A and B are shown apart, each in its own frame.
Chain A
Amino acid sequence: MIEARGLTKRYGSKTAVDDLTFTVRPGVVTGFLGPNGAGKSTTMRMAIGLDRPTKGAINIGGKAYRDFPAPLTEVGVLLEAKAVHTGRSAYKHLLAVAQTQGIPRRRVDEVLALVGLTDVAGKRVGGFSLGMGQRLGIASAMLGDPGVLILDEPVNGLDPEGIRWIRTLLQALAAEGRTIFVSSHLMSEMALTATHLIVVGRGRLIANTTVEEFIRQASGDLVHVRSPQAARLSETLARDGVTVTTTGLDTLDVNGLTAQQVGEAAFAAGIPVFELTPRQVSLEDAFMDITKDAVEYTHGQTPAPRVPSATSTGANA
């Protein structure tokens, strides 16, 4: 379990992390989301004692990281970018790390096998591809067989096979009762991997909820209907608190009624309905919507999207 209480980090006049309070529970994969500069990496660094908080604290299993006699056997960490010396071989790197805690050599071989780097264990890390470097980082995080895993952008640079491998690994580790705390920008992947979400923006907590709830709140009650008598259906449904948008020749987007209510209203009026789908926004849309005020570093204007086609259905995740 990871607990942050009033966690704050200021660099001079800039507040990178602002009074964060949250709990990351064991047994589930918790996603840590936020725009660039939101304070995710800083929070993770403070969790393992690399940076000292200005105020507040972040504890693991009730203790400060430095109070663990063998921290790598309790908390495994993968931070953004390779934290490895490029001139060293993968094997020697892991060995040097393992030796600090008294972890045996055979464990180094085990984690190399786990991530599939056994064949290149003797090669200089400087020659590794981005994906291989990530695998090495994951091997390093798993060295001590920790109960808590903190991973910053673990799928960065991995191919689809690697991404799926990570997802399966993290979910299996969570199922074993470990605490898994993952930050990522890959929304589609996060939606598949995580069950719980902690969203931050400009250093502040924006949301602390399940993935389902997060998407549901952003989607609202949006129902997509296709009917040959769309115009008549639109009139039937119109009432206080309900917005009906005509999205095509025979399709409507209804906001404010559940799919059940729309179906029953159509049935009562004798209007045939060919498609009736509760429409979920993607995690990406939900995230963009909720963090749009908190984006620190925006990109330039993107060209306006074309008029949406009538075939948008279901979640994009």
Chain B
Amino acid sequence: MGFPTAADFKPTAKVTLPRVLRSEWTKLTSLRSTVWTLLAAIVVTIGFGLIVCAATVADFHRNGNASDLNDPVGTSLVGGYFSQIAIGVLGVLLITGEYSTGMIRTSLGAVPHRLPVLFGKAIVFGVTSYALSLGAILVAFFSGQAILHQVHGGVAIGDPSVVRALLGGAFFVMTIGLLGLALGTLIRSTGGSIAALLGLIFVVPIVTSFLPGRWGDIQKFIPNNAGGALVTIDDRGNDLLSPLGGLVVLLVWLAVGLGAAAFTLTRRDA
């Protein structure tokens, strides 16, 4: 019985971050559910953008005006409200799927230092979700603006702040995805992590809106509103941070979330 022994790869075998990235990419693209969810996020982004723009035009034709024409870029980004859920849940599943199937023991057994696994997932998923979101947003933008041009309501990509808003919209969706990853690593169960994610997206804005007086300022710093600040073009009369402020706040959320996840991942038993 001949057993394959292949000592030739052993001298060069070593766990490195680039190699872990390759492994995480293989993992990401080898699950049908992941691929379908990413496609769904793209479709939702483009679809909603087109629907809202078409509805705006119809509204204009009926009433001679339409409120959404005040924020033409926003109409292209509205899909983000929904794709953020898909991408956020995907971020959760990226890690909780490993815990629920026991795969985590294989992953952490192969990479006992553990952090490369978390950061490998964050980098691979972050880049992928950003690239796909941005692609979908751009498609939504160009096709949406083409529709709005029928009623002279569209903007061009070169108009002030438009590029920043589009890049920022993709960045916000990516952030939600990475916060999903962080929550999944902290909570480790699929149900609990998704509940926490949805709580962050839907419940926190409601609760903070009830805070009295100066406490209400906290609203500016929750992810939704920080993201809103990042994509706002016309900031008259809104209570948000500046776009740069929004970006910084989102980065802080990422640092805290992934930092806490990294801490617990290395400390706890697998």
A and B pair up: yes
Q: CB within 8 Å of B: which residues of A?
A: 45, 48-52, 65-66, 68-73, 77, 79, 81-89, 92-93, 95-97, 99-104, 106-107, 110-111, 113-114, 140, 144-145, 168-169, 172-173
Q: How far is the CA of A92 from the CA of B26 in the complex (A)?
A: 7
Q: Can you list the 4 inter-chain pairs with the closest CB atoms, starting with the nearest?
A: A92-B30, A66-B112, A70-B13, A50-B270
Q: Which residues of B contact A85 (CB under 8 A)?
A: 27, 31, 97-98, 101, 103
Per-residue A-contact encoding for B203-217, CB less than 8 Å = 1, 0 else: 000000000000000
Q: Which residues of B contact A104 (CB under 8 A)?
A: 9
Q: Which residues of A contact B32 (CB under 8 A)?
A: 87
Could you tell me the distance in whole angstroms from the C-beta of B70 to the nearest C-beta in chain A? 45
Question: Do A102 and B13 have beta carbons less than 8 Å apart?
Answer: yes
Q: Which residues of B contact A66 (CB under 8 A)?
A: 112-113
Q: How far is the CA of A52 from the CA of B112 in the complex (A)?
A: 12
Q: How far is the CA of A49 from the CA of B112 in the complex (A)?
A: 7
Q: Which residues of A contact B15 (CB under 8 A)?
A: 69-71, 100-102
Q: Which residues of B contact A79 (CB under 8 A)?
A: 105
Given contacts A50-B105, A66-B113, contact A168 B5 (CB under 8 A): no
Question: Do B13 and A103 have beta carbons less than 8 Å apart?
Answer: yes
Q: Which residues of A contact B9 (CB under 8 A)?
A: 73, 102-104, 107
Surface stretch bound by A, among B17-25, B136-144, B164-172, B250-258: B17-25
Extra 10 A-B pairs, beta carbons < 8 Å, given A96-B23, A172-B1: A45-B269, A48-B109, A50-B269, A66-B113, A68-B112, A84-B101, A87-B97, A97-B106, A99-B23, A100-B110
In residues 97-117 of chain B, which contact A (Cβ within 8 Å)?
97-98, 101-106, 108-113
Question: Do A84 and B26 have beta carbons less than 8 Å apart?
Answer: no
Q: A51, A92, A101: which contacts B19 (Cβ < 8 A)?
A: A101
Q: Which residues of B contact A100 (CB under 8 A)?
A: 15, 19-20, 23, 110-111
Q: Which residues of A contact B22 (CB under 8 A)?
A: 99
Q: Which residues of A contact B161 (CB under 8 A)?
A: none
Q: Which residues of A contact B19 (CB under 8 A)?
A: 99-102
Question: Do B112 and A65 have beta carbons less than 8 Å apart?
Answer: yes
Q: Which residues of B contact A69 (CB under 8 A)?
A: 13-15
Question: Do B13 and A97 have beta carbons less than 8 Å apart?
Answer: no
Could you tell me the distance in whole angstroms from the C-beta of A103 to the nearest C-beta in chain B? 6
Q: How far is the CA of A86 from the CA of B33 in the complex (A)?
A: 11
Could you tell me the distance in whole angstroms from the C-beta of B267 to the nearest C-beta in chain A? 8
Given contacts A97-B23, A101-B110, contact A113 B14 (CB under 8 A): no
Nearest chain-A residue to B30 (Cβ)?
A92
Q: How far is the CA of A309 from the CA of B9 in the complex (A)?
A: 59
Question: Do A51 and B3 have beta carbons less than 8 Å apart?
Answer: no
Nearest chain-B residue to A79 (Cβ)?
B105
Could you tell me the distance in whole angstroms from the C-beta of A49 to the nearest C-beta in chain B? 4
Could you tell me the distance in whole angstroms from the C-beta of B197 to the nearest C-beta in chain A? 21
B238 contacts the other chain (Cβ, under 8 Å)? no
Question: Do B112 and A145 have beta carbons less than 8 Å apart?
Answer: no
Q: How far is the CA of A81 from the CA of B105 in the complex (A)?
A: 11
Q: Which residues of B contact A102 (CB under 8 A)?
A: 9, 12-16, 19
Q: A81, A86, A103, A145: which contacts B5 (Cβ < 8 A)?
A: A145
Question: Do B31 and A87 have beta carbons less than 8 Å apart?
Answer: yes
Q: Which residues of A contact B24 (CB under 8 A)?
A: 96
Question: Do A84 and B103 have beta carbons less than 8 Å apart?
Answer: yes
Q: Which residues of B contact A48 (CB under 8 A)?
A: 109, 112
Q: How far is the CA of A81 from the CA of B104 in the complex (A)?
A: 12
Q: How far is the CA of A54 from the CA of B16 in the complex (A)?
A: 29
B237 contacts the other chain (Cβ, under 8 Å)? no
Q: Which residues of B contact A145 (CB under 8 A)?
A: 4-7, 10
Q: A52, A70, A83: which contacts B103 (Cβ < 8 A)?
A: A83
Given contacts A96-B26, A99-B23, contact A82 B269 (CB under 8 A): no
Question: Do B105 and A83 have beta carbons less than 8 Å apart?
Answer: yes
Q: How far is the CA of A140 from the CA of B110 in the complex (A)?
A: 10
Question: Do B110 and A51 have beta carbons less than 8 Å apart?
Answer: no
Q: How far is the CA of A47 from the CA of B98 in the complex (A)?
A: 21
Q: How far is the CA of A49 from the CA of B265 in the complex (A)?
A: 13
Could you tell me the distance in whole angstroms from the C-beta of B115 to the nearest C-beta in chain A? 11
Q: Which residues of A contact B23 (CB under 8 A)?
A: 96-97, 99-100
Could you tell me the distance in whole angstroms from the C-beta of B214 to the nearest C-beta in chain A? 43
Question: Do A81 and B6 have beta carbons less than 8 Å apart?
Answer: no
Q: How far is the CA of A87 from the CA of B34 in the complex (A)?
A: 10
Question: Do B3 and A45 have beta carbons less than 8 Å apart?
Answer: no
Question: Do B106 and A172 have beta carbons less than 8 Å apart?
Answer: no
Question: Do A51 and B269 have beta carbons less than 8 Å apart?
Answer: yes
18 of the cross-chain contacts (CB-CB < 8 Å) are: A48-B112, A49-B108, A52-B269, A66-B112, A68-B112, A70-B15, A71-B15, A85-B98, A87-B31, A92-B30, A96-B23, A96-B26, A99-B26, A100-B20, A102-B19, A111-B4, A145-B5, A173-B3
